[in-house]
Amino acid sequence: MKISPSLIVPPLHCLYRAWAAGLRLEMHGREQVDKLYDGGTRLVFCVWHDEIFSLVYLSRNLRLAAVVSRSNDGEYLARVMDRLGFYPVRGSSSRGGVAALLKAAQVMRKENLSSVLTMDGPRGPRHVLKDGVFLLAQRANALLVPVRAFNRNAIRFGSWDRFQLPLPFSRTKVVFGEPYPYTSPGISEASLIVEREKLYSRMQELEDLHSFK
């Protein structure tokens, strides 16, 4: 039985804010992001699905569009994200994905917003790049920003993404990589191969430099 969002969303929102507020956050590379954002440059923050718990709360200083699944669970998430200051755009890679990405790009241009996208969501495979992030960046004329979250202590669930729930008061690093443009001509398979390798490599470099060993 589906629970009404009006009943479940307010306590979920309060619980998330309280949990996230207790994390011992360290941010790396945020200054360059804030400077670009404040100057009106549109950005697409590229994240892995399993790391989103530690990332969502950081939108408090940024107005971000976010593509959220059309599933029942996505309805709850969209409403919580709206309360956190996001602009939810409904859709996914499996249902209405392209339309949602085009709508997100339109919103970004019209409102001069940035966006955040889980590159391997909503169903995986884990840490396998999908191409929506490149379509969004190209259509919105936005820079790509690799972003990682590393938790000193976290529970890993048995879901497809091995979702990470940082333990209360855990030390958590959020690392922003160097923003860069999508430079390939068009959205061809040859171009996408190059862009996937480039972005994946940058995501891995952040892990090599900043993860808790």
Contact assessment for residue 147 and residue 49, using Cβ atoms and an 8 Å cutoff: no
pLDDT tens digits, 111-167: 999 999 999 978 889 999 999 999 999 999 999 999 999 999 999 999 999 999 999
* Distance separating alpha carbons of residues 54 and 43, to the nearest angstrom: 19
One-letter amino acid identity for 185?
P
CATH number at residue 161: 3.40.1130.10
Stated pTM of the model: 0.92
* Distance separating alpha carbons of residues 152 and 170, to the nearest angstrom: 6
Domain limits for position 204: 5-210
pLDDT of 92 reads: 64
Residue for token digits 């979920």? 12
How many domains does one find in the chain?
1
